[in-house]
């Protein structure tokens, strides 16, 4: 029964916690009722499992020798300093911030980890009143099923292998990674680490990982290089930020989505043609040429690229490609 | 069985929780622990048989059962060795620290000092447990501050039961729209935050993506009551095609295969060399035309032929801009 087991686990913990020195198995058996009443074999099994259950709660059950002179009798203890949450005194507004933070994760596992942390802080005497602060709460959503596996592998420094499909690739390839960190960048989750196939740091988008994340070594098998800055590394490996500017002709009252990040073109475009009636000239900053071409194409005849030339050429190529597919598919099409 | 493990985890917090407060009402304890009061009573009953090794007279933890049953108040004594909770585990500490950082980055300047103070104290208390937090980083999108502002306005309207005037961009039709809505709730799905509301313009329930809201104004008018309208079940995804929608057959080259994962497709057929034939429901034909143009030759509409002609016409007229 759960209650009986809870009782046993708690009594075991108290025994190990209040003792100043390591407690022998024999002594443990004599003071915990359910161990005392069990047969030898049943006791051994129960005790092994119970120790592991305590450890799984994060309780540091240490093993040592009761008498250093005779290293034949191992004992157990829980050192108070390693067990207890240190003193933490939070002001009312700080406690309120913690309360808000506990609602940020939109992921079952991490939301429950934050509420467990919150319960511990309440147990340390902190009173949480979320109403004390009026702060916008961002929400961290995690929908990639592999998130937890990468988080855990990062935590335990376990090399992993997984199937990964890059943009546009038809099939996945198996990649091997020493995960250094898990990062959310522009609303997408990535894992960053040493790609052992390429021998260099790489960034992988979690949504492109197919299937399960497999362990590919032992926990603690690698170290994150000293001085690694996960944020700086991510920024250097992530798709480039807006470094180019496109000059576009945009039909009035059209391309509203594009207008949200466009600015009117300055008069600096010396030699630029006059803007046709019913059109405007706008500028948009962009990172990848392909991505910008995608956006322009989505507006069809309402947006025309004037510059730069590579973007203009790409848009024209793609429009021709669309027409080519159309011709094949629609034999006998009008016009 | 995990029941005992969870119970012990809770008790290791409950015992110091009560001792740090002298006495606590059962209701308050249940609320703070996020469990039913009956669960707290069960937990306390376990303590009857717990205490110092040997469990002799005076060794047992003393729970005042009269106060619990009579006044619904928890008092506890004789547990001096459990006055502090267990330290934070590395996932607990890191999850909280990362959430605090997100709060710091997502909020305005005024919240930073208090978040920074809190982070410093939490990191100190978490010790080694906080180490993992250095390996988890969240860079919020740049428009997050704007989205948060809109969200604040909408939450205010929700709390006060008021209608909202929305400026909203509809990408499928490339339209900037104005409409009045009765907000139901704010939900997060697939990386974006949405307002679910009754739209007076569409006279139907709609989802509005917050980063497409250009303007939100709380009106004086209270929301209308909508009997029988239920929040949509988003577990099946956001796009819930209707059987009335047009069924289109599209051929996807490898570069466009992502479409099959991104949008709900009715069927897929592998054609070899990474090409895929899919059928999907299309509410608004113009949306599919825009999508196929974007895919620049990597996708081809096979059926219906009207749509395939529409794509061809759209590409022809777009090319006219370049000659």
Last residue of a domain, one of B236, B262, B286: B236
B-chain CB neighbours of A117 within 8 Å are 88, 92-93, 95-96
d(CA B302, CA B215) in angstroms, rounded, equals 40
In which domain, by residue range, is A107 found? 92-141
**Cα A147 to the center of its chain, rounded Å:** 6
A133 and A156 share one domain:
no
Report whether pLDDT(B4) > 50.
Answer: yes
* CATH number where B58 lies: 1.10.10
**Run of H or E including B199:** strand B192-199
The pLDDT tens digits of the residues spanning B311-321 come to 999 999 999 98
A-chain CB neighbours of B174 within 8 Å are 254-257, 299, 302
Q: Is A204 helix (H, G, I), strand (E, B) or coil?
A: strand
pLDDT score recorded for residue B38: 94
- Of residues A188 and B31, the one with the higher pLDDT is B31
Name the nearest CA neighbour of A239 among A167, A169, A160, A182: A167
A303 and A223 share one domain:
no
d(CA B309, CA B302) in angstroms, rounded, equals 10
> Looking at the domain assignment, is residue A265 inside a domain?
yes
d(CA B111, CA B152) in angstroms, rounded, equals 15
A101 and A69 share one domain:
no
A220 and A171 share one domain:
yes
Nearest-Å Rg of the Cα atoms of chain A is 31
The pLDDT tens digits of the residues spanning A260-275 come to 788 888 655 555 678 8
B18 and B39 share one domain:
yes
The chain-wide mean pLDDT, for chain A, equals 85
The pLDDT tens digits of the residues spanning B254-268 come to 888 878 877 778 888
CA distance A313 to chain B (A): 10
A55 and A106 share one domain:
no
> Looking at the domain assignment, is residue B141 inside a domain?
no
> Looking at the domain assignment, is residue A334 inside a domain?
no
Between the CA of residue B24 and those of B28, B41, B256, B284, what are the distances in Å? 7, 13, 60, 58
Last residue of a domain, one of B214, B236, B258: B236
B-chain CB neighbours of A181 within 8 Å are 134-137
In which domain, by residue range, is B226 found? 147-236
Helices (H), chain B: 2-19, 26-33, 37-47, 65-71, 90-106, 112-126, 144-160, 258-262, 285-294, 305-320
- Mean per-residue pLDDT, B109-122: 88
Helices (H), A179-272: 230-237, 256-259
In this prediction, residue B237 has a pLDDT band, given cuts at 50, 70 and 90, of: low
Q: What is the ipTM of this complex?
A: 0.73
d(CA A236, CA A233) in angstroms, rounded, equals 5
* CATH number where A218 lies: 2.30.30
Provide the domain count of chain B: 4
Q: Is A318 helix (H, G, I), strand (E, B) or coil?
A: helix
Considering only A103-107, A292-296, B194-198, which range has the smallest mean pLDDT? A103-107
The pLDDT tens digits of the residues spanning B121-174 come to 999 999 887 878 878 877 766 566 677 778 888 988 988 999 999 999 887 777
**How many A-B residue pairs are in contact by the CB < 8 A criterion?**
362
Between the CA of residue B309 and those of A55, A248, B298, B301, what are the distances in Å? 66, 27, 17, 9
- Mean per-residue pLDDT, A247-256: 89
- Mean per-residue pLDDT, B267-274: 84
A233 and A249 share one domain:
no
In chain B, % helix, strand, coil (3-state, to 5) comes to: 45, 30, 25
- Mutation target vs B (from A31, A130, A139; most B CBs, 10 A cutoff): A139
Instruction: Tell me if B122 sits within 8 A of B93, measured CB to CB.
Output: yes
- Contact flag B87-A170 (C-beta cutoff 8 Å): no
Its sign, for the CA torsion A29, A19, A7, B4, is negative
A198 and A273 share one domain:
no
Report whether pLDDT(A204) > 80.
Answer: yes
CA distance A259 to chain B (A): 10
- Mean per-residue pLDDT, B188-201: 80
Number of H helices, E strands in chain A: 12, 14
Between the CA of residue B166 and those of A138, A178, A268, B148, B171, what are the distances in Å? 21, 47, 36, 15, 15
The pLDDT tens digits of the residues spanning A119-164 come to 999 999 888 876 656 566 667 777 788 998 999 899 889 999 999 9
Instruction: Tell me if A289 sits within 8 A of A244, measured CB to CB.
Output: yes
> Looking at the domain assignment, is residue A335 inside a domain?
no
- This prediction's pTM: 0.68
Query: How many degrees, rounded to 5, is the angle at CA A325 between CA A320 and CA A327?
Result: 90
A158 and A233 share one domain:
yes
Residue A2 near chain B (CB below 8 Å): yes
* CATH number where A58 lies: 1.10.10.10
A133 and A194 share one domain:
no
CA distance B128 to chain A (A): 10
A-chain CB neighbours of B32 within 8 Å are 119, 122
d(CA A114, CA B97) in angstroms, rounded, equals 9
A-chain CB neighbours of B318 within 8 Å are 297, 300-301, 319
> Looking at the domain assignment, is residue B308 inside a domain?
yes
Q: Do strands B136-139 and A173-185 pair parallel, antiparallel, or not at all (unpaired)?
A: parallel
Last residue of a domain, one of A213, A237, A261: A237
Q: Which residue of A has its CA nearest to B99?
A: A101
Helices (H), chain A: 2-18, 25-31, 33-36, 40-56, 80-83, 92-101, 108-123, 147-156, 230-237, 256-259, 289-298, 309-329
- Contact flag B5-A333 (C-beta cutoff 8 Å): no
Instruction: Tell me if A182 sits within 8 A of A199, measured CB to CB.
Output: no
d(CA B300, CA B52) in angstroms, rounded, equals 76
> Looking at the domain assignment, is residue B140 inside a domain?
no
A168 and A233 share one domain:
yes
A-chain CB neighbours of B132 within 8 Å are 154-155
Provide the domain count of chain A: 4
> Looking at the domain assignment, is residue B83 inside a domain?
no
B104 and B126 share one domain:
yes
B7 and B32 share one domain:
yes
**Run of H or E including B295:** none
Instruction: Tell me if A32 sits within 8 A of A11, measured CB to CB.
Output: yes
Instruction: Tell me if B243 sits within 8 A of B267, measured CB to CB.
Output: no
* CATH number where B264 lies: 3.30.70
Name the nearest CA neighbour of A302 among A265, A245, A244, A259: A259
φ and ψ at B44, to 5 degrees?
-65, -35
Enumerate residues 6+ apart whose C-beta is below 8 A from A50. Answer: A8, A9, A12
pLDDT score recorded for residue A70: 65
Please, what's the largest Cα pairwise distance for chain B?
A: 98
d(CA B161, CA B130) in angstroms, rounded, equals 41
Contacts of residues A164-168 at CB distance under 8 Å and 24 or more positions apart, as own/partner, are A164/A204, A164/A208, A164/A209, A164/A210, A165/A208, A165/A210, A166/A208, A167/A208, A167/B255, A167/B258, A168/B254, A168/B255, A168/B257
In this prediction, residue B35 has a pLDDT band, given cuts at 50, 70 and 90, of: very high
B202, B206, B210, B214: CA torsion to nearest 10: 0
């Amino acid at each position: 029964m759960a209650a009986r087991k809870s009782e046993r686990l708690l009594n075991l913990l108290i025994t190990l916690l209040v003792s100043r020195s390591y407690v022998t198995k024999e002594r443990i058996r004599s003071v915990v009722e359910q161990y005392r009443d069990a047969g030898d074999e049943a006791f051994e099994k129960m005790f092994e499992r119970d120790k592991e259950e305590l450890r799984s709660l994060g309780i540091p059950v240490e093993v040592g020798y009761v008498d250093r002179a005779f290293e034949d009798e191992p004992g157990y203890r829980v050192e108070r300093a390693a067990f207890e949450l240190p003193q933490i005194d939070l002001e009312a507004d700080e406690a309120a911030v913690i309360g808000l933070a506990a609602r940020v994760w939109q992921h079952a596992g991490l939301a429950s980890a934050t509420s467990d942390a919150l319960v511990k802080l309440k147990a340390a005497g902190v009173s949480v009143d979320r109403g004390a602060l009026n702060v916008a709460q961002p929400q961290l959503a995690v929908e990639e099923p592999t998130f937890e596996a990468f988080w855990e592998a990062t935590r335990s420094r376990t090399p992993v292998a997984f199937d990964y499909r890059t943009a546009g690739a038809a099939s996945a390839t198996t990649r091997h990674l020493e995960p250094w960190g898990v990062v959310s960048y522009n609303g997408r989750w990535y894992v960053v680490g040493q790609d052992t196939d390429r021998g260099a740091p790489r960034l992988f988008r979690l949504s492109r990982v197919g299937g399960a994340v497999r362990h590919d070594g032992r926990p603690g098998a690698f170290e994150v290089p000293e001085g690694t800055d996960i944020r700086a590394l991510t920024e250097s490996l992530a798709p480039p930020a807006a470094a180019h500017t496109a000059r576009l002709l945009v039909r009035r009252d059209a391309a509203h989505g594009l207008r949200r990040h466009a600015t009117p073109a300055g008069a600096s475009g010396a030699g630029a043609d006059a803007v046709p009636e019913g059109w405007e000239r706008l500028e948009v900053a962009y990172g990848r040429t392909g991505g910008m071409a995608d956006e322009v194409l989505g507006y069809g005849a309402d947006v025309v690229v004037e510059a730069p030339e590579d973007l203009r050429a790409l848009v024209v190529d793609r429009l021709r490609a669309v027409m080519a597919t159309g011709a094949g598919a629609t034999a006998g099409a009008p016009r | 069985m995990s029941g005992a493990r969870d119970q012990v985890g809770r008790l290791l917090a409950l015992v110091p929780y009560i001792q740090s407060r002298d006495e606590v009402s059962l209701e308050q304890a249940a609320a703070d622990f996020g469990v039913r009061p009956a669960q707290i009573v069960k937990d306390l009953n376990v303590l009857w048989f717990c205490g110092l090794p040997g469990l002799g007279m005076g060794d047992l933890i003393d729970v005042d059962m009269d106060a619990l049953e009579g006044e619904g108040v928890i008092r506890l004594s004789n547990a001096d060795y459990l006055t502090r909770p267990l330290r934070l585990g590395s996932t607990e500490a890191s999850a909280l620290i990362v959430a605090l950082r997100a709060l710091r980055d997502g909020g305005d300047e005024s919240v930073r000092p208090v978040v920074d103070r809190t982070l410093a104290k939490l990191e100190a208390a978490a010790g080694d447990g906080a180490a993992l937090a250095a390996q988890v980083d969240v860079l919020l999108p740049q428009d997050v501050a704007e989205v948060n502002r809109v969200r604040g306005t909408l939450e205010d309207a929700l709390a006060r039961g008021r209608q909202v005037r929305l400026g909203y961009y509809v990408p499928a039709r490339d339209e900037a729209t104005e409409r009045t809505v009765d907000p139901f709730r704010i939900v997060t799905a697939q990386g974006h935050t949405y307002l679910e509301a009754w739209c007076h313009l569409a006279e139907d329930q709609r989802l509005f993506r917050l980063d497409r809201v250009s303007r939100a104004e709380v009106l004086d008018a209270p929301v209308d009551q909508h009997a029988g309208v239920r929040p949509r079940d988003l577990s099946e995804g956001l796009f819930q095609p209707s059987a009335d929608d047009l069924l289109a057959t599209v051929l996807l080259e490898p570069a466009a295969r992502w479409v099959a994962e991104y949008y709900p497709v009715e069927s897929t057929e592998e054609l070899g060399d990474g090409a895929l034939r899919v059928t999907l429901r299309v509410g608004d034909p113009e949306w599919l035309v825009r999508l196929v143009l974007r895919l620049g030759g990597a996708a081809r509409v096979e059926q219906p032929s009207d749509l395939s002609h529409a794509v061809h016409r759209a590409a022809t007229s777009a090319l006219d801009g370049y000659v």
